[in-house]
Amino acid sequence: MKKKFILFMLLILSSFTFSEGKLRVGMEAGYAPFNWFQNDERNGAVKIKNGYVGGYDVEIAKIISEKLDMDLEIVQSDWDSLLGPALNSDKIDVVIAGMSPTKERRKNLEFTDPYYESDLVIVVKNDSKYLNSKSIQNFRDSKLTAQLNTFHYTVLSQINGIKKESASENFSNMLVALESGKIDGYVSEKPGAISATISNPNISFVEFDKDKGFVYDRDDVNIAIALKKGNLELRDKINRVLAEISREQREEIMKKAIETQPNQDSESLPTNFFGWIKFFIVNYWKDFLYGTFTTINLSLIGTFFGFIIGLILSLIRDDRNINNNSMFSVIFHKLFKYFVSIYVTFIRGTPMIVQAIIFYYGFSQITGINIPALTSALIIVSYNTGAYITEIVRGGIDSIDKGQYEAAEALGMSHFNIMRKVILPQSIRNVMPSVANEFIINIKDTSVLFSIGVTELFTTSKSIVGSHVRYYEVFVITCAIYFVLTYSLSKLFRYLEKRMDGNKEYEIEG
């Protein structure tokens, strides 16, 4: 056990990396042709923890890091996290993710000169009645949407009489909504629209006549690199590199990105549901396996430390610990119970995803200490689980008849030995089903850690979806994996409970 604990601590300490000499680039890895996830290094893709990332943004990042003589590190992250938290908390150095330098974003972020110029179009299905539209006003009465936290969503108000649907988290979601008929179209930059048509032959896009399209500032559609506000030195260095990349070279890079994106060779891809299931299992089994092991490790370690936290807090706040002859003991115990009550109430009253964002980004921003995503995830799951198990163990201790404690005390046993030999063994057996339930809940709830860039099973699945835009098939596999994990754990803990019950057939010796 000691060796395992030492190895675990070394793993945690080794995850504290330093960025000196590195260019840490944040991106979604799910917005082709700018960036996408793939399972090998073909076409110059860059390695990340659970696979590889390719695309136009990656090629630009490679050029910049080479010119600046820095090692390139791609950090996959949720889109909302890229818009500020990741930069402001120094988790990454720049964002190269097909982002437009809008006026609102310039208030909080620094931007380089554009590294690509684009236009807005509306993506529709091939059989859409809006396919031949020449003006945005032809989309009257249509159901349209755009990506969350982008100016694309705001320009929809320029179309009279549309049914403005809720903004979508990412482009993969919008493509699925479009295919299923939930929406009639969505706003996109032209390269993204071209990418969608290559990925799905049933998709097309609408370009508009001059003066009949969307009205916007060129900064809203030009694509630039985002940095932390005030990081002028790095911005100027990157601008000098971008100035050396000609317009022709940029167009050539984009053309190559579109041609080499996943799903480009549609003739070799499956044509039915079960064919896609087989395709993803055969081509991405290593990625699913990586995500599954990460999920199991986070849940197992988080539940273990959460149980330790809950057990310690429950024992210390037990009223039988008070030494009534010591005023200090009485005051300390009351303050400790008050602290535990606040901790339990706050953690149980707020979602884990909110706690994760506050801890991972907020802690770094306030203290300047950069805790890596995996280490942060372990801490978050541990203290979150600890709050629930504190109440579970308290209930288990309270369930033991007080007469047992009094009888043991009458026999001259110390408080420590009574708890260790009489109360706790029974309490732990009683709370075992609830602890097992917490473990199973953690298996599922670790999926929210995508918000801080942890590549567990759900994040891995989202990356694969972003590359192939096949929601149902990928998440059927993901759902099956989660079910196998939770069902197996349920059976395992049931077996352990029976083992702890011991033999129920007793004989009285006389």
- In this predicted structure, the answer to whether residue 441 has a pLDDT above a threshold of 70 is yes
Any idea which residue has 């159901």 for tokens?
A: 143
Give a yes or no: residue 332 inside a domain. Answer: yes
CA distance 385 to 117: 48
> What is the structure's pLDDT at 356?
93
Q: Kind and range of the H or E element at 197? A: helix 190-199
pLDDT in tens, 392-425: 999 998 888 888 988 988 888 888 888 888 888 8
Closest CA to 26 of 83, 100, 109, 107: 83
Q: Which domain holds residue 334?
A: 278-501
Residues 413 and 466 in one domain: yes
Distances (CA, A) of 119 to 95, 218, 219, 432: 21, 9, 11, 59
Q: What is the pTM of this model?
A: 0.77
CATH label of the domain that carries residue 470: 1.10.3720.10
Residue 99 near residue 223 (C-beta atoms within 8 A): yes
When pLDDT is cut at 50, 70 and 90, the band that residue 220 belongs to is: confident
Domain stop point among 219, 236, 253:
219
CA distance 269 to 278: 11
CA distance 236 to 188: 29
Domain count, the chain: 3
* Lowest-pLDDT range of 49-58, 105-114, 316-325, 350-359: 316-325
Residue with more model confidence, 20 or 479: 479
Q: What is the 3-state secondary structure (H, E, C) of 328-370?
A: HHHHHHHHHHHHHHHHHHHHHCCCHHHHHHHHHHHHHHHHCCC
> What is the structure's pLDDT at 16?
45
- In this predicted structure, the answer to whether residue 95 has a pLDDT above a threshold of 60 is yes
> What is the structure's pLDDT at 153?
92
Residue 179 near residue 150 (C-beta atoms within 8 A): no
Residue with more model confidence, 120 or 220: 120
When pLDDT is cut at 50, 70 and 90, the band that residue 18 belongs to is: very low
Give a yes or no: residue 461 inside a domain. Answer: yes
When pLDDT is cut at 50, 70 and 90, the band that residue 14 belongs to is: very low
Residues 113 and 168 in one domain: no
Give a yes or no: residue 1 inside a domain. Answer: no
Q: In what order do the strands lie in the sheet with 163-164?
A: 163-164, 143-145, 185-189, 120-125, 203-206
Residues 63 and 33 in one domain: yes
The mean per-residue pLDDT over the stretch 88-101 comes to 90
In sequence order, the β-bridge partners of residue 223 are: 116
* Lowest-pLDDT range of 171-175, 239-243, 289-293: 171-175
Give a yes or no: residue 509 inside a domain. Answer: no
> What is the structure's pLDDT at 504?
61
Residue with more model confidence, 365 or 293: 293
> What is the structure's pLDDT at 264?
61
Residue with more model confidence, 194 or 184: 184
- Name the range with the highest mean pLDDT among 119-128, 451-460, 495-504: 119-128
Residues 386 and 416 in one domain: yes
Distances (CA, A) of 358 to 15, 119, 189, 371, 456: 20, 36, 32, 13, 19
Residue 465 near residue 471 (C-beta atoms within 8 A): yes
> What is the structure's pLDDT at 8?
47
pLDDT in tens, 442-485: 999 999 998 888 989 998 998 888 777 788 899 999 999 999 99
CATH label of the domain that carries residue 137: 3.40.190.10
* Tokens linked to 156: 């929809």
Residue 318 near residue 329 (C-beta atoms within 8 A): no
- In this predicted structure, the answer to whether residue 122 has a pLDDT above a threshold of 80 is yes
Residue with more model confidence, 68 or 499: 68
- In this predicted structure, the answer to whether residue 167 has a pLDDT above a threshold of 50 is yes
When pLDDT is cut at 50, 70 and 90, the band that residue 132 belongs to is: very high
When pLDDT is cut at 50, 70 and 90, the band that residue 506 belongs to is: low
The neighbour count for residue 230, using CB atoms within 10 Å, is 8
- In this predicted structure, the answer to whether residue 262 has a pLDDT above a threshold of 70 is yes
CA distance 353 to 357: 6
Give a yes or no: residue 273 inside a domain. Answer: no
Residue 229 near residue 68 (C-beta atoms within 8 A): no
Residues 141 and 240 in one domain: no
Residues 299 and 248 in one domain: no
